[in-house]
Chain A
């Protein structure tokens, strides 16, 4: 680990100023991702700005939305009453992630900003465009069983050369994407808001960038607007062991149902792309319909049309499709 300077700001403003002045500075929250990256030599900040003393730890419901501070711990968020009653999908996704100990340290902001688990990214001895732009993607023709099947917008494209086929690892972000969350950001130019769908980036250009967060910018909160999905939502995570493993594929499915029919629907997928993968046409396909396995199968197959497999992950196309059917069935309450 490279020696670094440790700073502990007391206000958001102070933190942002510290970060803006130093391109090599990095925020640290729970440290569950960043410390690992530093130990492996992938991140080597010269200044570490510990944001744990900033007043960003509140969960509150105001007007029509839940506002969650960036430093709220994953475990606290997953058991907060307002989350359990209003946004159970989010609680489910959080609990599907990592382990109890990690969730006790991990924060909302850190979870949003966690980096990919691609083995090539994690090993300095292997090529990686994300770590070292232009070095080549080791995974593209290597061990890519867990890698992406969606690349550039629904149905549009293949893998562009010298890019990156890593997937975004977060579970929380998949639920937040389905729930159309807003990310609140504070930076050198003051506060701004970004929709979840625009927060993370695709890897076609500048794969070294995971998000659209600018230099020095700090996530201060997320906001989830009230919805009518609480009764019919489900987070399904498919993984290589029963717990404590990143998703092969995950699905956040949220339905609004009334009188045996679906009136609104949202869905996002994890483990399939460089960012949580939002399925846009589901609402149109499901609105007014009576839920059935056949219907969900059609939806799933439609969604998978743009998918492209690499050598070892063709199974993900079928798996994602099956997982969508399973998640939608559970959300709809049909067996």
Chain B
């Protein structure tokens, strides 16, 4: 491992504030809360992909030891907030939840059809195997290629006036048609699943008839609170959602899924707290996935490598009952300076469960295609792929005709290329060998839109000068608490040990869920602002205590003290300020949100990846042997956790490129890769040394901390870089992921 990339010389990163509780196993995850009288629910799921339930025989299950109830559409309680219409007659926008146990209709294989609640999990599992469900089958359609003619403009786009998913074109199409050099290619990514190691789990507790607490694995306690309150017609404050620790999610926890509703319904029905943990195989049909997507790219350039046009068409899979839209084709409008650019986005409804956002949603998919196509065109032009990208560098946003708030992608390319040793690369594919292996290198760019949502944070200074900072934000793994602690410590001039950051509880100040790389930009800003406000208060209060503050200097804070100016040698301790003013604590709550700058600048995170692969010429096995990843996300709040975030993204990209594939047997509309023996994610041996670099320059236009999101761009582009490296190693262009040995021998 390259130590240099590990340690930023000027860095004194915080280690994870929750590291110790996690590695010692004392962090409490959703399924681990100790609740008296707890009952256990196990789902029975459908074995057909379309049709309806004709009968449910549950007598045997009901008679099994420990069973409290067998719940299905036949006897489920009414959920008061659900609209009393039939299941959506036409596809609804995403978020219009599928209503579990509502009627006998089957929309997808793996749909919950019944639920056994019993005293122990083992009793529930056993009884669930005794429930007999009979169906009236209808012909289902799950095969993407066989149904492409049914793809169309999403209904949500047809209805909305200003949807970003509308067909788009700028410039003159003839530029592309008449381009001197053109490539046209189709790229496919299969269905891929988030499969975090911690399965989704919930404990639902009705504290009173009108008071609900859930310990639920999700990525947004506030949105879960809102959705549950609405479904059960309760005031928001009567619903508490707790999700303090999360064992990975990658997008699978953004929505409130049917199993969550099922557990809450079960708890109401059996009048006991109920725990429901999804089985690994149920994780494939319960919490979304990255949709099967086919993309066609047409790119043209002049012989000298000037892009003449980009046409990017993409069709993604959705369910028959909901529309899930994602940014698949959008990057092609903004990334390169091409006079002509056009995009088209279509959805293909199939008899499957609804997909959802998965790390780098849309962009990871779209940029695999765009960056593969750029590589193909560079090859056709006999041009170095990096040089080709630099030649078409967009100095301003060609889509919105706005200046970038900040863009250091060029610096990323340069730094990454230098660290990787790109300039020594032989251009000819299949021209380098190492120890009998074919050696290749490839690169790709990365971008992801900037998201900042209104966020609140509260800072509470205690009498001893320590600070509790709170916000209903989440930590699905990146180390939110650590980064927020760092921000607060810096603003307040106190040691990080004096700060405790609290998150993952719906009673805390409003914050968005953790998605779209928005946490640092949004909540980080709120924490910054609230700590600034607390600091001002402390400065004012200190000013009332000493003459020195009246000489007009600029007060500063450091080491937990307020000084009247930078030169002042004698500070006043925070604890003394509170004591002097007879305050037990000092509390400030602030909100932070974006303003007019959103209309003045185009805001993105940028990055690039350089990848080296070895391919065994006899077996077709691909091993990634080295990765250099470089990102421009404004100011880096905490190097150590940022670096882990980047590494995780690359690892996810390796999985996406080389192994992840949820294979369905379309005769049954059922996944056959439904465990970790058949659905492969990278193991340690698949992960090479990954060097991580940041430009670390503040983007002064985006927010008060100058920081943009990192979670998504860490993965966006990685699959493309790997595919490009495989092409360089073998001379074979694989356009259908994953790149497994069968595609290379």
Contact = CB atoms under 8 A, between A and B. Distances in A.
A241 B672 contact: no
B683 A1 contact: no
Given A120-B672, A126-B668, A126-B670, A243 B677 contact: no
A315 B742 contact: yes
Contacts of B682: 241
Contacts of A81: none
B684 A243 contact: yes
Contacts of A319: 619-620, 741-742, 745
A124 to B, nearest CB: 8
B125 A1 contact: yes
A241 B619 CA distance: 12
Contacts of A153: none
Main secondary structure of the interface of A (DSSP, over half): loop
Interface in B613-663: 616, 618-621, 623, 658-659, 663
Contact of B675 (A3, A122, A240, A248): A122
A53 interface: no
A199 to B, nearest CB: 23
Nearest to B661: A240
A246 B676 CA distance: 11
A62 B216 CA distance: 59
A143 B683 contact: no
A215 B680 CA distance: 36
Q: For this complex, into which size category does the number of interface residues on chain B fall?
A: 35 or more
A238 B686 contact: no
A155 interface: no
A242 B122 contact: no
A125 B670 contact: yes
A245 interface: yes
A220 B740 CA distance: 39
Interface residues of A, number: 38
Interface string A104-140: 0000000000000101101101100000000000100
B665 interface: yes
Nearest to B742: A315
A145 B742 CA distance: 9
B622 to A, nearest CB: 10
Contacts of A248: 741-742
A248 B673 CA distance: 15
Given A123-B672, A145-B742, A319-B741, A241 B129 contact: no
A143 B672 contact: yes
Contact of A315 (B667, B674, B741): B741
Contact of A241 (B126, B281, B616, B683): B683
A143 B665 contact: yes
A238 B677 contact: no
A274 to B, nearest CB: 18
A322 B745 contact: yes
Given A240-B680, A243-B683, A126 B672 contact: yes
A244 interface: yes
Contacts of B685: 241-244
A41 interface: yes
In this complex, the member of B664, B673, B685 whose beta carbon has the largest number of chain A beta carbons within 10 angstroms is B685
B665 A126 contact: yes
B436 A335 contact: yes
A90 to B, nearest CB: 21
B47 interface: yes
B672 A243 contact: no
A243 B663 CA distance: 21
Given A126-B665, A240-B741, A246 B122 contact: no
In this complex, the member of A117, A236, A241 whose beta carbon has the largest number of chain B beta carbons within 10 angstroms is A241
7 contacts: A1-B125, A119-B672, A119-B674, A142-B672, A248-B742, A319-B742, A335-B436
Interface of B: 47, 122, 125-126, 129, 281, 436, 616, 618-621, 623, 658-659, 663-665, 667-668, 670, 672-675, 677-678, 680, 682-686, 740-742, 745
Given A126-B670, A315-B745, 19 more contacts: A1-B126, A3-B126, A39-B125, A99-B683, A119-B674, A122-B675, A123-B672, A123-B674, A125-B47, A126-B668, A143-B665, A143-B672, A236-B619, A238-B620, A240-B659, A246-B677, A319-B619, A319-B742, A326-B619
